[in-house]
Chains A and B, each alone.
Chain A
Amino acid sequence: MYELVKKLLPHVADKTDELIYSVYQTLVMLTVSGLISFVLGLLLGIVLVVTREGGILPHRPVNAALGFTVNLFRSIPFVILLAALIPLSRLLTGTAIGTTGAMVPLIFGTVPFFSRQVETALSGVDHGLIEAAQSMGLSAPGIIVRVLLRESIPQLIRVSQITSISLIGLTAMAGAIGGGGLGDFAIRYGHQRGQTDVTYITVVVILLMVAIIQHLGNLVIKKNTH
């Protein structure tokens, strides 16, 4: 077995430890920044939906300010965000390099995108359902949890899938500034030293991650669609 691997993937075979460590780093970046982004994006998405005109807690200034900020961050290319956020990253995490240093730009790169996606998902909830809940005397938080979020679960999963897959892409890019992970691994060996088999193996691993995300998401969607 080892012989076969050595023959097909000569450069990977002698750095399996490093490969495994890179996968681990990518997973850490993905889960930590993903979870934080999920919570923040969900919150901001909810605020965007409920504060807009005709929403359940309309508030024009908040809606306009948040919408503007989200658009602003969405229009900054991620590589620039990586560089621009170095001071903030140092301030918040104490470092601007490594997986920890990559967290802040990853979150800033993901949250605006995700909050817009959440906004779209929640807007898909029939206004009649919200009125029905209002007529039954539900409070605003009650409506958010029991109607808005609950009725858009499949849609929320779908946008989470899209966002986490694009987040994988961002973690690879963060690797370019010393963030570690699979991106870093592929650049250092596959690109800079011409060890193409390293590049291919990272592609395969990333494809696997995407497939797992898709599959798990689809399972949950299926369970929640009636």
Chain B
Amino acid sequence: MIRLEHISKTFSSVQGPVKALSDISLQIEKGEIFGIIGFSGAGKSTLVRCINLLERPDRGGKVFIDSTELSALPYSELRAARLNIGMIFQHFNLMPSRTVLDNVTFPLNYRRIPATQQVRKARHLLELVGLENFEQRYPSELSGGQKQRVAIARALASDPKILLCDEATSALDPQTTREILELLASLNASLGLTLVVITHEMAVVKDLCHKVAVLEQGRLVESGETFEVFSNPQQEITRRFVSAASNLAKVEQLKKLRPDFFALKAGELLVRLSYLKRSVSEPLISLITSRFSLQFNILYADVELVGGAPIGGTVGVLGGQSGSIAEALHFLEQKNVKVEVL
């Protein structure tokens, strides 16, 4: 378990103090995959760096791992505690003078582990990230995605209980991203590894994260179960993130670019129905068209898994008597369907 209490961070710069984080408190349970999203400069990296105290929070901020207050430990004990917290950096930070293999054994070198065992472990991890043929290469001879995978292997070498990932898949192609996410998810499932994942890819959040927190200008503006946040975003910024990831949101864009595409007849409404509940199995559309004698012309529909539960909806043109349309929309809202008339 990771608990942050009242974390603020002020950097001093030439133009004066920069408040990168303001009073952030949150708790991440053991075995959880916790996503952090926010625009560039929102403070995501700074927040995650506060967890292993690479960045010292301002006075009053406390970092707890399980029941230990990390922020109160003397340096020697903090070092020991850091052995349980692996970190994948946004800029990889591999040692340029060492081979891939030596980079992966690096965190093991100064512990009393026999060299052959270190190498065996590193080889196993390199195989896991698909780099078994690259052990003798140097970081400068690798592509961005390969470097990132070495960084992942290195972070896992010391068997951490917590893994902090700062944009761990941002340099990877979709195929490799999928493989790495599956790897992280399987480590989470098999070893109970707690993952803190910074990302700007909503796909990562949707597929991987159990919970998600949204940062805006150093503030924690929204957090909760991924499904809740995605199905019912409370803040404007969250809505923007969620809609950027949702196909249903593309209708607005389409409408702006090709207004003629939606030539509505008198009395017709362009509506977006999104499901707020974890169940999308009820045949609501056929129900409303028959009960209220309406026509619903589906333009498109979308369903995807978010945090393991289906989320989705339908965009279409609703036609019929205006009174019945209003009744139908009211009925849908009662059935926990979010109705937007566009």
* A residues at B contact (CB < 8 Å): 126, 128-129, 131-132, 134-139, 142, 146-147, 150-151, 153, 224, 226
Among A131, A136, A138, A147, find the residue whose CB has the most chain B CB atoms closer than 10 A.
Answer: A136
Distance of A33 Cα from B61 Cα, bound (Å)? 52
Given contacts A128-B89, A146-B109, contact A134 B54 (CB under 8 A): yes
Distance of A224 Cα from B107 Cα, bound (Å)? 21
Whole-angstrom distance between the Cβ of B140 and the nearest chain A Cβ: 6
Contacts of A153 in B (CB 8 A): 97
Distance of A126 Cα from B158 Cα, bound (Å)? 23
CB of B93 within 8 A of CB of A131, answer yes
- B255 located at the interface, meaning its Cβ lies under 8 Å from any Cβ of chain A in the complex: no
Given contacts A136-B158, A139-B79, A226-B140, contact A151 B110 (CB under 8 A): no
Of B80-88, B259-267, B302-310, the one touching chain A: B80-88
Whole-angstrom distance between the Cβ of B146 and the nearest chain A Cβ: 15
- Beyond A131-B93, A137-B79, 9 extra complex contacts between A and B, CB < 8 Å: A129-B93, A132-B94, A134-B82, A135-B52, A135-B54, A136-B106, A138-B79, A224-B97, A226-B97
CB of A150 within 8 A of CB of B89, answer no
Distance of A56 Cα from B305 Cα, bound (Å)? 45
Contact of B107 among A136, A150, A151 (CB under 8 A): A136
- B134 located at the interface, meaning its Cβ lies under 8 Å from any Cβ of chain A in the complex: no
- B96 located at the interface, meaning its Cβ lies under 8 Å from any Cβ of chain A in the complex: yes
CB of A137 within 8 A of CB of B95, answer no
Whole-angstrom distance between the Cβ of A168 and the nearest chain B Cβ: 29
Whole-angstrom distance between the Cβ of A200 and the nearest chain B Cβ: 43
Considering only residues 29-64 of chain B, those with a C-beta below 8 Å from chain A are 52, 54
The 6 A-B pairs of least Cβ separation, nearest first, read A226-B138, A132-B93, A128-B93, A137-B82, A136-B107, A137-B79
* B residues at A contact (CB < 8 Å): 52, 54, 76, 79-83, 85-87, 89, 91, 93-98, 106-107, 109-110, 138-141, 158
Whole-angstrom distance between the Cβ of B49 and the nearest chain A Cβ: 8
Contacts of A131 in B (CB 8 A): 54, 89, 93
- Pick 22 A–B contacts, CB within 8 A, sort by A: A128-B91, A129-B95, A132-B93, A132-B94, A132-B95, A134-B82, A135-B52, A135-B82, A135-B86, A135-B87, A136-B106, A137-B82, A138-B79, A138-B110, A146-B106, A146-B109, A146-B110, A147-B95, A151-B96, A151-B97, A226-B96, A226-B97
Whole-angstrom distance between the Cβ of A135 and the nearest chain B Cβ: 4
CB of A136 within 8 A of CB of B93, answer no
Contacts of B96 in A (CB 8 A): 129, 151, 226
Contacts of A129 in B (CB 8 A): 93, 95-96
Distance of A138 Cα from B109 Cα, bound (Å)? 10
Contacts of A135 in B (CB 8 A): 52, 54, 82, 85-87
Distance of A127 Cα from B80 Cα, bound (Å)? 21
Whole-angstrom distance between the Cβ of A166 and the nearest chain B Cβ: 27
Distance of A138 Cα from B95 Cα, bound (Å)? 14
Distance of A93 Cα from B54 Cα, bound (Å)? 48
Whole-angstrom distance between the Cβ of A215 and the nearest chain B Cβ: 22
CB of B93 within 8 A of CB of A126, answer yes
Distance of A137 Cα from B86 Cα, bound (Å)? 10
Whole-angstrom distance between the Cβ of A169 and the nearest chain B Cβ: 32
Distance of A131 Cα from B45 Cα, bound (Å)? 13
Distance of A119 Cα from B89 Cα, bound (Å)? 26
Which A-chain residue is minimally distant from B158 (CB atoms)?
A136
Contacts of A147 in B (CB 8 A): 95
Whole-angstrom distance between the Cβ of B106 and the nearest chain A Cβ: 7
Distance of A212 Cα from B54 Cα, bound (Å)? 45
Which A-chain residue is minimally distant from B138 (CB atoms)?
A226
Whole-angstrom distance between the Cβ of B9 and the nearest chain A Cβ: 15
